[in-house]
Amino acid sequence: MKIDLLSSPLPRVVGVVSDETTWRALQPTDADLVELRVDALPADRRTLPLRELCPLPLLVTFRHRSEGGQCEVPEEERVAVVRSLLPAVVAMDWELAQAGHAGDLLKEAHERGVSVIGSYHDFVGTPTRELLSDLEKRAVACGADVLKVAFTPHTEQDLNSALEWLRANHHLPVALMGMGALASQSRDLFSRNGSVLLYGYLGNSPTAPGQWSASRCLSWRRDTCGT
C-alpha cells in the first residue's frame, strides 16, 4: 500500500543522512521521513540492510556529481541501484533532467506505490518563473508526485519572485528551498507559504549550502505551525 508522503503535519520534515554512522543511529523521532543519500556512501555500502536499520519511512536519492551528488557513476548503475532499493522505500528522488533516461524506473516506482520526487537544482542563481513553470510541466509529464526545486537566491527580489510563483496554483505539490546565504530565510518563507517538504541534515554535516539541521526543522514547525 502506498504511504502518503504528504500526510499531516505539513511541511513534512525530511532528515537527510549521508554517512553510515548516522544511519545506524537513527531514531523514530528524528524526522517524519529520512532521505538516504546513496551517492555519499562507499560503493560497497550502497545496499545497506534498509528495512532492518531504518525506523522511519525512507526516501532514497542517488545523485551524480553534476547534480550536486558526491560521486560519478554511469547512469545505468544509478538506475540499477535505486531499482534494487525500491522494495524498502516509500519515495525516491530523481533529477528531472535525467528523467527521460529513467522512464522504466519511474514506472516501476509507481507500480510499487513508491512516490516520485522530481527535482531540480541551481547552485548558482534563481530560476525564472517561466523556467519554474516549465519544470512543473516536466514533472507532471514524467509522473512525479512532488516537484522539488532548490536554488541559490542572492537578493530579496530573488526570494520574492520565487514566492510569487509558489503562491500560484499548481498541478502537483511543490517543495521549494534556497541554498547559500539566504537559505535560512528561504526555508522559513517558503515553508510558511505552502512548500510541502522541509529538508534538514542528520549527523554533523549539511548536504546543501545553508541547510538547517533536522532538529531545527522540527522545532521550527512546532513553534510556527504548532505541530
3-state secondary structure of 200: strand
Q: Inter-axis angle of helices 183-192 and 156-167, to 10 degrees? A: 20
Whole-number pLDDT of residue 72: 79
- Domains in the chain, start-ordered, CATH in brackets? 12-225 (3.20.20.70)
96-141 per-position pLDDT tens digit: 998 988 999 999 999 999 999 999 999 999 999 999 999 999 999 9
> pLDDT category, 31, cuts 50, 70, 90?
very high
CB–CB of 227/9 below 8 Å?
yes
Residue 159, amino acid: L
* Residue among 3, 80, 9, 14 at smallest CA distance from 47: 80
Which of the two residues, 7 and 4, has the higher pLDDT score? Answer: 7
Whole-number pLDDT of residue 199: 96
- Residues carrying an active site annotation: 121, 148
168-185 per-position pLDDT tens digit: 999 999 999 999 999 999
- Residue 42 scores a pLDDT above 70: no
190-222 per-position pLDDT tens digit: 999 999 999 999 998 888 888 999 999 999 999
- State the Cα–Cα distance between residues 179 and 209, nearest whole angstrom: 5
Bridge partners of residue 148, in order along the sequence: 119, 175
Bridge partners of residue 146, in order along the sequence: 117
pTM, two decimal places: 0.93
CB–CB of 34/57 below 8 Å?
yes
- State the Cα–Cα distance between residues 2 and 14, nearest whole angstrom: 18
Residue 18, amino acid: S
Buried b (16+ CB within 10 A) or exposed e, 31-64: bbbbbbbbbbbeeeebebeeeeebebbbbbbbbb
Question: How remote is the C-alpha of 189 from its chain's centroid?
Answer: 18
Instruction: Report the alpha-carbon angle 34-73-83, nearest 5.
Output: 50
Cell matching residue 119 = 527535482
Whole-number pLDDT of residue 49: 59
